Structure 1
Amino acid sequence: MQWALRELRSQLRYQIIGPFLLLTIIVAVAGSLAVFSQVTGSLQDRFDNQLASVTRTANDELVNQEQTNLQFLREVAFAQRNDSTGAPGVADALASHNIEGLKQALDPFFRVAANRNNIGLDRLIAFDTSGKTVSDFEVIGSDASADYTVHASFDISETWFTKRVLSGIADTRGDKYAEIIQFGDTLYFATIAPVRNEKKQVVGGLIAATRISDLLVLLRDRAQAAGMTLYSGSGELISSTFGNSEGIVEAMDQALLDAFQSNSDPSTRSIFSTETISSRSYQFAYTPLIIRGGSLGILAPALSRDYVMATGNNTLLPLIFLVAILTLIIFIAGVFIANRITAPLGELAL
């Protein structure tokens, strides 16, 4: 009889504690997961919005760079004779094929522009009506204060922009053009403008160019991004501030490219992806590279996900600790209450 009462008392204790403890654990875990999901979801939303803002800033800065280049070319194209230095006007020098005079006229403009951060000029080219370059200055490396390199003349008469500029063709956006062009092994973001004489006749043209690698650094810094990458329209890697060596930044995969191309409104809806670079996680946002109203590639600003991941981990660990503490407290309380309830049965067993 006493054995039966002790067994009943033991089973009642477990029957009281067991369901109560199980229900508590389920509620605590579910609540913790809900809180964790809410916190991380809110963090991700804020992070996405921040990256979208960085993307818009990068686009705005690209437009500003294009406008800055255009303004610079206007100043150079309309430059008049400088009596203090003896330099001729730019248009007069081109019209008369005064090459040394042209270089003398362009030199101060190039030196000043190369040292101004808001212009971001790496190369200044002048070409004549035959489509051959007659003056070609370039700053090599990142030290704009160093003397520049003078490139030898070469023929650009077959390029589409040279033909348009020399023929005086203007479209709905004017007679000045912008394009990504390649000279040798180097890609440039270039703005091209005609030079006209007093009779409005085209006597040559000017090209203000920024190396793509330098342009991406400029956009990254102005947009306060962790990195900036440029892809072709087909998703192939062109250049990245993370580095251009094989394997550092991969080309866009087909699924990502399809999602980007099917995005009907990239100005308000960004396409994101998470990429691992040098063992760190980054989130990329993809937007069309719009130059002079046309898409010439895909621009991808990136932000580090370290903050999101660290905050998520910092949130998860306290929740796990809290669930463990609550479970232990509830278990102890359950044992105490169960003992109080089953104590009369123990007295009967004596």
Structure 2
Amino acid sequence: MIVGTTYVRQPQLKNLTRLYPGIRTRVTGPFLLLIAIVAILAVFIVTRLVAGSIQERFNNQLVDSANAASNAIVEIERQQLATLRLMVFTDGVAAAVEKRDVANLDAWLRPVAANAGLDAMVIFDANGESMLWLRRENNFDLTYTALPDTSVDDWHSVQRVLAAQSDPLGDKFVDILGDDSDSLLYMSAPIRNSDGQVVGGIAIGTSMFNFARRVSEQSLSAVALYDMQGNVLGQTFRINSADALTLPASTVADLMIRVQDTSPIEALEIEGTPFQILYAPFEIRSETIGLLGVALPSNFIVERSSTSRNIFAALFSSLFVGVVAIGLMTARTITRPVQRLVETTRAIRDGDLSKRVDLHTPDELGELGTSFDHMTDNLVKKNRQIRKLYLQQLQETARREAVLTSIRDAVIVLSTDQEIIMQNPAAGDLETRLENDVLSERRYHQIFENPGRFHDPVVVEMAKGYFSTVATPVHLETGELIGHVIVFRDITPIIEAERVKDVMIQQLSHELRTPLTAARGYTDLVKMLDATNLSEQSLEYLDVSLKNLSILEHMINEVIEVSVVSSNQFSIDAVEVNLTDVLEEAAAHWQPTMAQRDLEFEIDIPDSVLCVEGDAELLKQVFGHVLRNAYSYTLPGNGVALIVEASEDDVVVSIVDKGVGIDDDEINRVFERMYRGRSADAGPTDSRGLGLGLYLTQQIIEAHNGTVTLRSKPEVGTLVEITLPLSKRSEYSG
């Protein structure tokens, strides 16, 4: 699979050729386009500069209007506070409220409301019930109508007044009440008696329409007042309906965030007239109750910008026409040589490798033509070489396939992505054998998943047979790994032959035991009965015979044990074994033998009971094997040590000798079956054997869920560590 390459079909390519511009267009087009862009940008920039200057002056005027509007709001608030104070502190008002003397309240406060131009006034008692509610009839005179008494205790400002609350600015509070077309701004204040107790309150109201009109008169601009939901509370735009000014709640929320840092200006078209409106917080008593919009018509900015744009557009259009004429004349001197080069490349593309450009102009195009002709000559040579190499590769591939097919072993070439690149027929036959064997097929695919585990040959049982499996890594010269070659060799006949051999050896060994036992018994009998009649030399001969018979018996026992292990008949009858007793018995057995050869035998066995799950006889045999090796390869005057260390979970038995040691290149093989290293004949004693002792030791210890490790250094000595898991009855004392 080729990644990153796009193939275009021939019809599509022809369509693209017809649509794609020619070289002349591509040479002059960008130049002309650049000139056009520069002209347009110049017109745009100059126009923008003019419009920007006008816009800047307009923005400054809008900001001045907004400042004037803010000052007007502050002035209205100041006047409202002054009116409230005058009403609250009028003599007799507090007593009249306590007595609900509506007549005097009306007589005293109606003139104050008329002088202040209020649109509404409400006097309420300590329970939030209105006592006197005056409402201005229209905006043309100061005639007030008394409204029926009703409860105002649901007003937020009334609740705070009656609760005698105050904020940093005092005890006056604000509410906006009424519908969108008739909303009023109420400012409420408490009325206190001579004891300072709140006996009621006064709320004076200003129509939001009149509020906006007064702000507009001061700022000389159109004004719109919004609540927090975007509804228009009051406005002075000359429009038929205030719905065109209504803002969505989301827009209001966004503007409320923006006005904290700046004064946003938005463009707005209302009934065909363009406006620019500046938004600011609408605050009364330092409490933001909505948005203030100050607007000015912006149609004169558009008119001035259009006039400037038309003038500059005409100027730069004239320059553009002149540049086009010069560009076309220049393009002709470039496109003619290029067209000749194109015709030659098309001929070569169609297979005519004899075609040449033959362009000799003294410029870059001439050099390009000469280089192209030289490249074509090299292409012809390379084409011949590639064809020759291709034929050689075909022959080499055929030879490799023939060799791979002739191999009887199953061979599979695997990529680093665990994908099979190549396999021979034997591999296909093996996969066929695995089709109905789920377990074997799983083992087969596990080899592909981690071929690195099989760099050394490993015997794998599958498809009712045994296969020696080895995975050889394949590297490039740079050392990069590109895959593995995995070989499956069917060694089932060899394994079966080994099993037959083990059975024969086991049977033969059993047969040899009987005459061997008899020979040893008769030799012991002769030595015992005729000891007084035999010469000293005869007794020596008998001792040598008994010694060799013992060695032969030991070898036969080892052969039988190895045969049992190899034939999968090996198992242990696990019972709880006192390992301390086993080790002490082994130490007691070998202590006199060590002393006879002048070997210092160090024994360090704890007094506590160390119990393991296993077979006592097999464990005795293990320690006998290891102590025998230590005895056999240690020179007189040196020492052997038996050291036992226990933890909470394990016991470690270390057998150390100061013998001849083992070479580094043999340490990894000492546990192999029938292996006798170079040190086997270097010891001070006759250590003849079959090389089975450590092999059996490892098999027995692993059957007890333990481990055996060996470390050695030539001429220094050897350390064998045997680790076994302790059972729960062990008396570990730390």
Provide TM-score, normalisation by structure 2. 0.37
Output the CA distance in 1 between the equivalents of 2:292 and 2:73.
Answer: 10
Residues 283 and 303, structure 1, Cα contact 8 Å, conserved in 2: yes
Q: What secondary structure does 2:178 align onto?
A: strand
- Call closer, same or farther: CA 1:24–1:181 in 2, change over 3 Å: closer
- Call closer, same or farther: CA 1:244–1:93 in 2, change over 3 Å: farther
Residues 119 and 205, structure 2, Cα contact 8 Å, conserved in 1: yes
CA positional deviation for 1:230: 2.5
Identity of aligned residues (%): 26
State which drifts further: 214-223 or 96-105. Answer: 214-223
Residues 66 and 191, structure 1, Cα contact 8 Å, conserved in 2: no
**Are 1:283 and 2:283 counterparts?**
no
- Call closer, same or farther: CA 1:204–1:323 in 2, change over 3 Å: same
Residues 227 and 233, structure 2, Cα contact 8 Å, conserved in 1: yes
CA positional deviation for 1:103: 0.4
Which residue of structure 1 lines up, in the alignment, with residue 69 of structure 2? 58
Q: Partner letter of residue 36 of structure 1?
A: T
Q: Partner letter of residue 112 of structure 2?
A: F
Output the CA distance in 2 between the equivalents of 1:318 and 1:303.
Answer: 28
Q: What secondary structure does 1:150 align onto?
A: strand
CA positional deviation for 1:189: 1.1
Output the CA distance in 2 between the equivalents of 1:253 and 1:197.
Answer: 44
| Counterpart pick for 2:197 among 194, 198, 201 | 201
CA positional deviation for 1:73: 0.7
CA positional deviation for 1:91: 2.3
Output the CA distance in 1 between the equivalents of 2:107 and 2:165.
Answer: 29
Q: Partner letter of residue 138 of structure 1?
A: R
CA positional deviation for 1:183: 7.7
Which residue of structure 2 lines up, in the alignment, with residue 35 of structure 1? 46
Which residue of structure 2 lines up, in the alignment, with residue 130 of structure 1? 127
| Counterpart pick for 1:49 among 56, 60, 72 | 60
Which residue of structure 2 lines up, in the alignment, with residue 271 of structure 1? 264
Q: What secondary structure does 1:69 align onto?
A: helix
**Are 1:240 and 2:251 counterparts?**
no
Which residue of structure 1 lines up, in the alignment, with residue 294 of structure 2? 301
Residues 189 and 211, structure 1, Cα contact 8 Å, conserved in 2: yes
- Call closer, same or farther: CA 1:213–1:199 in 2, change over 3 Å: same
CA shift digits 1:302-336 (9 cap, x unpaired): 11112222322343344446667x769x97xx9xx
| Counterpart pick for 2:99 among 96, 99, 119 | 96
Residues 280 and 304, structure 1, Cα contact 8 Å, conserved in 2: yes
CA positional deviation for 1:59: 2.2
Output the CA distance in 2 between the equivalents of 1:104 and 1:258.
Answer: 45
**Are 1:106 and 2:109 counterparts?**
yes
Residues 180 and 232, structure 2, Cα contact 8 Å, conserved in 1: no
- Call closer, same or farther: CA 1:151–1:327 in 2, change over 3 Å: same
Residues 96 and 102, structure 2, Cα contact 8 Å, conserved in 1: yes
Which residue of structure 1 lines up, in the alignment, with residue 185 of structure 2? 189
Which residue of structure 1 lines up, in the alignment, with residue 707 of structure 2? none
Output the CA distance in 1 between the equivalents of 2:124 and 2:179.
Answer: 14
Residues 181 and 233, structure 2, Cα contact 8 Å, conserved in 1: no
- Call closer, same or farther: CA 1:319–1:100 in 2, change over 3 Å: same
Number of aligned pairs? Answer: 293
Q: What secondary structure does 2:112 align onto?
A: helix
Gaps of 5+ in 1: 1-20, 81-88, 115-120, 335-350
CA positional deviation for 1:212: 1.3
- Call closer, same or farther: CA 1:28–1:244 in 2, change over 3 Å: closer
CA positional deviation for 1:192: 0.7
- Call closer, same or farther: CA 1:295–1:31 in 2, change over 3 Å: same
Q: Which has the higher contact order (CA 8 A, sep 6+)?
A: 1
Q: Partner letter of residue 177 of structure 1?
A: F
Which residue of structure 2 lines up, in the alignment, with residue 214 of structure 1? 210
Output the CA distance in 1 between the equivalents of 2:282 and 2:315.
Answer: 48
State which drifts further: 101-110 or 172-181. Answer: 172-181
Which residue of structure 1 lines up, in the alignment, with residue 224 of structure 2? 229
Output the CA distance in 2 between the equivalents of 1:24 and 1:166.
Answer: 76
Q: Partner letter of residue 130 of structure 2?
A: T
Output the CA distance in 2 between the equivalents of 1:146 and 1:261.
Answer: 37
Output the CA distance in 1 between the equivalents of 2:288 and 2:122.
Answer: 24
Output the CA distance in 2 between the equivalents of 1:258 and 1:303.
Answer: 23
CA positional deviation for 1:191: 1.0
CA shift digits 1:80-123 (9 cap, x unpaired): 3xxxxxxxx32232122111111011121122112xxxxxx211
State which drifts further: 233-242 or 159-168. Answer: 233-242
Output the CA distance in 2 between the equivalents of 1:282 and 1:229.
Answer: 12
Output the CA distance in 2 between the equivalents of 1:204 and 1:184.
Answer: 29
CA positional deviation for 1:186: 3.1
CA shift digits 1:264-291 (9 cap, x unpaired): xx36611121111111011122222222
Output the CA distance in 2 between the equivalents of 1:267 and 1:53.
Answer: 18
Which residue of structure 1 lines up, in the alignment, with residue 151 of structure 2? 155
Residues 94 and 192, structure 2, Cα contact 8 Å, conserved in 1: yes
Output the CA distance in 1 between the equivalents of 2:48 and 2:181.
Answer: 49
CA shift digits 1:239-264 (9 cap, x unpaired): 4333583643242474x44642442x
Residues 48 and 305, structure 2, Cα contact 8 Å, conserved in 1: no
Output the CA distance in 2 between the equivalents of 1:30 and 1:158.
Answer: 62
Provide TM-score, normalisation by structure 1. 0.73
Which residue of structure 1 lines up, in the alignment, with residue 603 of structure 2? none
Residues 259 and 271, structure 1, Cα contact 8 Å, conserved in 2: no
Residues 161 and 177, structure 1, Cα contact 8 Å, conserved in 2: yes
Output the CA distance in 2 between the equivalents of 1:139 and 1:76.
Answer: 17
Q: What secondary structure does 1:186 align onto?
A: coil
Gaps of 5+ in 2: 1-31, 326-734
CA positional deviation for 1:233: 2.1
Residues 179 and 291, structure 1, Cα contact 8 Å, conserved in 2: no
Q: Partner letter of residue 51 of structure 2?
A: T
CA positional deviation for 1:197: 2.7
- Call closer, same or farther: CA 1:300–1:74 in 2, change over 3 Å: same
Output the CA distance in 1 between the equivalents of 2:33 and 2:128.
Answer: 83
Higher radius of gyration, 1 or 2:
2
- Call closer, same or farther: CA 1:322–1:299 in 2, change over 3 Å: same
Which residue of structure 1 lines up, in the alignment, with residue 599 of structure 2? none
- Call closer, same or farther: CA 1:46–1:300 in 2, change over 3 Å: same
**Are 1:68 and 2:79 counterparts?**
yes
Output the CA distance in 2 between the equivalents of 1:246 and 1:31.
Answer: 42
